[in-house]
Amino acid sequence: MPNRRAFLRGAAGAAVALPFLESIPERSPWAAGSKPIFAFFICTVGGVVRSKFFPAATGTLTQAGLAAAGKATSALAAHADNLLLLSGINWPPGSSSGDAHVNGLCVALTGKVPPATQDVTKMTAAGPSADSFIAGKVHPGKAPIALYAGNVRNGYEAQRLSFAGPGQLNPVIDNPYNLYRELMGLTAPSGDQTAQLLLQSRKSVHDLVREDLKSLMQHPRLSAADRQRLQLHFDVIRDAENTMTAMCSTAGLDLTTLAALETWKYNAHRTDEMVRLHMSLVAMAFACNHRRAASLQWGDPYDLTVYDVPSNMDRQWKFNFISHRVQSDSAIGSDASDPLAAQAHAEVDVVRMQTLAAGLDHFKARGLAEQCFVLWTNNYAEGPSHSFVNVPHIIWGSGGGYLKQGQYVDAAGTANNRLLNTLISAAVQDTHTTVEDFGDGPGGTLDVVRR
Amino acid sequence: MSRIARMFGLGSACGALLLLLSCGRALPKKGLPPGDQTGVAGSAGGAGTGGMGGNAGVDGGAPAGSGGTGSGGQPPGGSNSINLDGSPIYTRIQRLTNGQWERAVTDVLRLASPANFPRDFSTPASGGGTDFANNEKLLFVDLQAQLDFEAGSEKAAAVATGSADALARLYAGTDAPGFVRTVGRRAFRRPLTTDEQAKYQDVFALGERLYGAGFANGAALVIRALLQSPKFLYRSELGAAGAPLDGYELASKLSFLLLGTTPSDELLDAAAAGALDAVDGLERAARAMLEQPAAVEIMRDFHGQLYRLALYDDINRTDVPASIESELAETSHRFFDAVFTSGEGLRAILTSALDSSRIGYFMQVPFLLLNGREDGPDSIRRGAALADEVLCLDLVGHTVPLPPLPPLAAGQTNRDRVEKLTASCAGCHGDLINPLGFAFEGFDGLGQPRDLDNGVPVDTTGTFSFEGGTRRFADARELMRILADGTQAHTCYAKMLTGYALQRDVVEKDRPLLGDLATVSRERSLKDMVISLVRNPAFRLRAEGTP
């Protein structure tokens, strides 16, 4: 039973009255004593071609080794040092009933088996998703950034990834332009006069505040603790300016494309382009410390995306048909029944990993590798089987030193709630909390991914 | 039925819920001979009155028939003494809380509706081990707070200058000097110095240069600068140690304490005229504030934090629909609102009667359900909550979690299994937590009355060693009366009020103040406690700080 102090601190166990000077965070761009960790969850759809996806064996990852592996994830070779490839994660037992497409999405970030439903189109999640849970822990009042790359208004099944609670979908942003507009106030796109004025006026206000702080710090009756408190305030203004001008800038954003999306309509050929734009904006949002958690549903449950890969150039099948190996949303074929579709799926896997790599470049460029993690997974393991066993997971970034890096590991058939416990614990570590009971299944964190 | 009881049971949509779950027979007293049952509560006020001014017997007064055991030692792992081991820093610069920021901005800028910007603010990291989230050790401006305050001031400035009506509410004139003087005084809670006046007039001019000529453009930048200044963000006490605070400092301290916002123009005028310098003048101002609706909100926050009402938001039990969580919280809040507004205090919190089977807050459905389990009462949580929130005991937390309660064996009661589970942790559980928790064995996990547990009559009896000595009780009702008539609960309540009001840890040095406030608590009302605190040197004088 945590006592009052532990309760307020958000941690169980004995209360320790920290000396005040120790309780003040260190001054740094991220106030190191309570360094925020950022969490981004991505879930795509339709499974992968497992035999052509991960390297043949677990072990240490190197750029050269991963590039030479000849697998879809070889497209991520440039990020090998920051990668944790993870096999052996299953959706919780009992997840396989109903519509696997939606079911897999509902469970991917909740770790909970969705309640049974007669109408599969109404299937929903049994609990909050990890992005919402983290946002609630670290930033009450701020919802996660919930993104969608696909046709969210497809009239059938669409968003099923980010949930505020049981059955409560978070509102999603499907057009990257809308997210860009939300972030506009955080930085100054070159050539944007309004934003430049904002920066200029902020600088003037900062100068004034610094002057006031300096004057107050010289007051002879202030204690050392009071001076330190004011010094912290003084320093973070400078840090905020530095952060804004360095990490939190529009550098690297494709502003031309973003601007053109102001009048945007869904295009089945542009899903991965939207993914890249979304990822570039989430990287900026994290660098600006705008939100601590985000999620991206990459594709519709019955994905309408048309990938222009060699084996699909003539057919122009939507991806769900490729995944099913048959031109049907309900029937399912096999690799043998349509080898061309199987080949197309493997080619799509490569394209998607290239897209992921391009998105991760933005996180790397903003120096977020130690300060965040990006999780990529799928709504189920493979195409035709729609299996919920051994669903591939890829983690980029150490989550504040919490997660292994440069490794390919096998979780040996663990339910995903333990992975989510681990990731959530990484994301909220500045609250001195460890989460061990998220979702269904055995509690605790997953040692195989922890540093 | 007292006014508070009516409020608790019937004053809201939650009433039906409470009555639905709490209806049943009166709680039987088990396990003590008749003499004990009547003797223990001999010093209590009249049953069901919920009134003040009852017998002021002290803990351990050992009334006839109470059967005191006289143990009262220091058990390993916990203490029966009020915890006063904090480490205040007596800051001279107290950062506004997010709530204070929101209300102050709304009032300084005369916004038509509450600013609501802090809904997006990050909450202070509560890493300092404090009783309340407004503690001086938790409130500083780190990077996130800086970004929040900056964005908030920009939004506020845009709203305040965004229309002719908004501007007219903010300042009736059209001259920059008058605007700076008027709004600056509200923001800094004192008149601006000559230098400050000149500086902010320059800011006004800069705003017009950057954004184009126009009063709103100059005013907007001034607002952004004022609201980010440390002179707005921190409430200061800069006088000599031990000297009285000046009138403006007192006005700010009083207004933020009781209304959660910046002082009104009238209060600043009173401060300028020296009307707050005398204790009686300060009391008059405080009494007027206590009757304002904003004071109810402040006390709602106090009780909400003290009794952890936020926990109702996340009960997370399969037998408790999530849809009633907010009703449980709101019902509880309304109860404490009523305690405050109707001029009552801790005695009513402990003993106000709802029906024949329940008195006070802790015997009501919300508390019992929150501290309940799907398979029965959670005696450990109930006891620990009382030990912590009512008696201010410092319970040493577990370094490893207790194993889960096993299922009940045939003929075994919940009390039996909890005693068995905690047998090796007698210091905290056996002596401090369990006796308090077992008093509520007459209520199941949903807070419904029960006579039997697993087919066996429930045992609600117990003994507890308070600071003043050991008392025996037959059930929760008697325990509540012992608490209300004793000293320790009132001293604890005084400690909590002091900590919340002065925004610092309360320590042994504060004992005399706590003693005074505890006496007021036992005999009078929460409002009187506040007045007594405001009149006390601990509030009015500059406290000795860390060199």
Please answer whether residues B320 and B330 qualify as being in contact, where contact means their C-beta atoms are separated by less than 8 angstroms.
no
Each residue of A35-66: pLDDT tens digit? 689 999 999 999 999 999 999 999 999 999 99
**Pairwise CA distance, residues B262 & B101, whole Å:** 9
Q: Output the 3-class SS for B170-187.
A: HCCCCCHHHHHHHHHHHH
**Pairwise CA distance, residues B236 & A222, whole Å:** 10
Do the Cβ atoms of B394 and A243 come within 8 Å? no
Residue type, B155: K
Residue with tokens 């102001």: A262
Do the Cβ atoms of A18 and B127 come within 8 Å? yes
Q: Is the pLDDT of residue B286 over 80?
A: yes
- This model of the complex carries an ipTM of 0.80
Share of chain B above pLDDT 90, in %: 57
A16–chain B nearest CA distance, Å: 6
- Residue A78: both structure tokens together: 């440039």
CA distances from A174 to A45, A48, A161, A163, B172 (A): 16, 24, 13, 16, 45
Q: Is the pLDDT of residue B5 over 70?
A: no
Residue B187: per-residue pLDDT: 97
Dihedral of alpha carbons A74, A79, A84, A89, sign:
negative
Among residues A245, A196, A233, A28, which one has the least CA distance to residue B229?
A233
Residue A370: per-residue pLDDT: 92
Identify the weakest region by mean pLDDT among A2-16, A99-113, A220-234, B406-420. A2-16
Length of chain B: 547
Among residues A124, A37, A81, A68, which one has the least CA distance to residue A368?
A37
Q: In sequence order, which residues have a C-beta less than 8 Å from that of residue B272 and are 6 or more positions away? A: B191, B247, B248
- Rounded CA Rg of chain A: 23
Which pLDDT band, with edges at 50, 70 and 90, does B60 fall under?
Answer: very low
Residue B115: per-residue pLDDT: 59
- Chain B hits for A29, CB-CB cut-off 8 Å, are 143
* Mean pLDDT, all residues of chain A: 86
Backbone angles phi, psi at A68, to 5 degrees: -85, -5
Interface of A with B in 170-229 (CB under 8 A): 185, 197-198, 200-202, 204-205, 208-209, 212-213, 216, 219, 221-226, 229
Backbone angles phi, psi at B439, to 5 degrees: -60, -20
Which pLDDT band, with edges at 50, 70 and 90, does B16 fall under?
Answer: very low
Which pLDDT band, with edges at 50, 70 and 90, does B400 fall under?
Answer: low
**Pairwise CA distance, residues A395 & A365, whole Å:** 17
In a mutagenesis test of the A interface, which of B95, B119, B134, B141 is the best target, namely the one with the most A β-carbons within 10 Å?
Answer: B141
Do the Cβ atoms of A3 and B395 come within 8 Å? yes
A11–chain B nearest CA distance, Å: 9
Please answer whether residues A73 and A85 qualify as being in contact, where contact means their C-beta atoms are separated by less than 8 angstroms.
yes
Residue B278: per-residue pLDDT: 93
Taking residues A138-161, report their average pLDDT.
Answer: 86
Beta pairing, strands A293-298 & A38-44: parallel
For residues B131 and A450, the model is more confident at A450
Which pLDDT band, with edges at 50, 70 and 90, does B395 fall under?
Answer: confident
For residues B180 and A192, the model is more confident at B180
Q: Output the 3-class SS for B105-164.
A: HHHHCCCCCCCCHHHHCCCCCCCCCCCCCCCHHHCCCCHHHHHHHHHHHHHHHHHHCCCH
Interface of A with B in 115-174 (CB under 8 A): 138-142, 165-166
Do the Cβ atoms of B128 and A6 come within 8 Å? no
Do the Cβ atoms of A225 and B91 come within 8 Å? yes
Which DSSP string do the residues of A148-210 spell out, in sequence order? EES-TTSSS----S-EEETTEEPP-B-SHHHHHHHHGGGS--TT-HHHHHHHHHHHHHHHHHH
Residue B398: per-residue pLDDT: 55
Cα B226 versus chain centre, distance: 31
Do the Cβ atoms of A223 and B396 come within 8 Å? no
**Pairwise CA distance, residues A376 & B382, whole Å:** 43
**Pairwise CA distance, residues B340 & B336, whole Å:** 6
Share of chain A above pLDDT 90, in %: 62
Please answer whether residues B254 and B534 qualify as being in contact, where contact means their C-beta atoms are separated by less than 8 angstroms.
yes
**Pairwise CA distance, residues B216 & B222, whole Å:** 10
Identify the weakest region by mean pLDDT among A57-61, B140-144, B297-301. B140-144
Please answer whether residues B401 and B453 qualify as being in contact, where contact means their C-beta atoms are separated by less than 8 angstroms.
no
**What residues form DSSP beta bridges with A86?**
A393, A409
Q: Is the pLDDT of residue A33 over 60?
A: no
- Residue A132: both structure tokens together: 């919402």
B360–chain A nearest CA distance, Å: 21
Which pLDDT band, with edges at 50, 70 and 90, does A17 fall under?
Answer: very low
Q: In sequence order, which residues have a C-beta less than 8 Å from that of residue B191 and are 6 or more positions away? A: B181, B185, B272
**Pairwise CA distance, residues A399 & B24, whole Å:** 53
Q: Is the pLDDT of residue A31 over 50?
A: no
Residue B124: per-residue pLDDT: 57
Residue B486: per-residue pLDDT: 93
Among residues A358, A342, A415, which one has the least CA distance to residue A47?
A342
Residue B28: per-residue pLDDT: 26
Residue A143: per-residue pLDDT: 86
Residue type, B352: S
Neighbours of B110 (CB within 10 A): 15
Q: Is the pLDDT of residue A96 over 80?
A: no
- E strand or H helix at B486: none
Q: Is the pLDDT of residue B432 over 80?
A: yes
Residue A58: per-residue pLDDT: 97
Among residues B541, B365, B525, which one has the least CA distance to residue B446?
B365
Q: Is the pLDDT of residue B90 over 80?
A: yes
Please answer whether residues B72 and B386 qualify as being in contact, where contact means their C-beta atoms are separated by less than 8 angstroms.
no
Residue B21: per-residue pLDDT: 27
Smallest CA–CA distance from B385 into chain A, residue: A3
Residue B36: per-residue pLDDT: 28
For residues A239 and B385, the model is more confident at B385
Q: Is the pLDDT of residue A246 over 70?
A: no
Neighbours of B215 (CB within 10 A): 18
Which pLDDT band, with edges at 50, 70 and 90, does B51 fall under?
Answer: very low
Q: Is the pLDDT of residue B265 over 90?
A: yes
Do the Cβ atoms of B398 and A1 come within 8 Å? yes
Residue A201: per-residue pLDDT: 87
Please answer whether residues A388 and A91 qualify as being in contact, where contact means their C-beta atoms are separated by less than 8 angstroms.
yes
Cα B411 versus chain centre, distance: 41
Each residue of B68-84: pLDDT tens digit? 333 333 334 557 788 88
Each residue of A425-437: pLDDT tens digit? 999 988 788 899 9
**Pairwise CA distance, residues A276 & A253, whole Å:** 10
Do the Cβ atoms of A223 and B133 come within 8 Å? no
Which pLDDT band, with edges at 50, 70 and 90, does B119 fall under?
Answer: low
For residues A245 and A394, the model is more confident at A394
Q: In sequence order, which residues have a C-beta less than 8 Å from that of residue B50 and are 6 or more positions away? A: B2, B4, B5, B344, B347, B348, B351, B352, B353, B359
**What residues form DSSP beta bridges with B452?**
B457
Share of chain B above pLDDT 70, in %: 80
Cα B440 versus chain centre, distance: 24
Do the Cβ atoms of B93 and A226 come within 8 Å? yes
A267–chain B nearest CA distance, Å: 34
Among residues A277, A299, A287, which one has the least CA distance to residue A246?
A287
* Mean pLDDT, all residues of chain B: 81
Please answer whether residues B364 and B339 qualify as being in contact, where contact means their C-beta atoms are separated by less than 8 angstroms.
no
Residue type, B256: F
Share of chain A above pLDDT 70, in %: 86
Residue B467: per-residue pLDDT: 85
B9–chain A nearest CA distance, Å: 28
Q: Output the 3-class SS for B388-453.
A: HHCCCEEECCCCCCCCCCCCCCCCCCHHHHHHHHCHHHHHHHHHHHHHHHHCCCCECCCCCECCEE
**Pairwise CA distance, residues A186 & A195, whole Å:** 9
**Pairwise CA distance, residues A207 & A156, whole Å:** 54
Among residues A290, A304, A278, A339, which one has the least CA distance to residue A139?
A290
Helix or strand or coil: residue A342? helix
Taking residues A126-131, report their average pLDDT.
Answer: 95
A161–chain B nearest CA distance, Å: 22
Instruction: Return the ∠ at Cα A124 (arms to A122 and A130), rounded to 5°.
Output: 160
**Pairwise CA distance, residues A427 & A419, whole Å:** 12
- Chain A hits for B144, CB-CB cut-off 8 Å, are 31, 36, 289
Backbone angles phi, psi at B282, to 5 degrees: -65, -40
Q: Is the pLDDT of residue B40 over 80?
A: no
Q: Is the pLDDT of residue B463 over 70?
A: yes
Helix or strand or coil: residue A93? coil
Give this prediction's pTM: 0.65
A2 inside 8 A of chain B by CB: yes
Q: In sequence order, which residues have a C-beta less than 8 Å from that of residue B63 and are 6 or more positions away? A: B39, B40, B42, B43, B57
Please answer whether residues A59 and A52 qualify as being in contact, where contact means their C-beta atoms are separated by less than 8 angstroms.
no
Among residues B351, B319, B449, B378, which one has the least CA distance to residue B18?
B449
**Pairwise CA distance, residues B252 & B93, whole Å:** 12
Each residue of B200-239: pLDDT tens digit? 999 999 999 988 889 999 999 999 999 999 999 999 999 8
For residues B425 and A401, the model is more confident at A401
Q: Is the pLDDT of residue B296 over 90?
A: yes
Smallest CA–CA distance from A142 into chain B, residue: B120
- Rounded CA Rg of chain B: 26
Do the Cβ atoms of A221 and B384 come within 8 Å? no
Residue type, B383: G
- Residue B316: both structure tokens together: 């997370």
By Cβ distance, the residue of A8, A139, A239 closest to B143 is A239
Residue type, B172: A
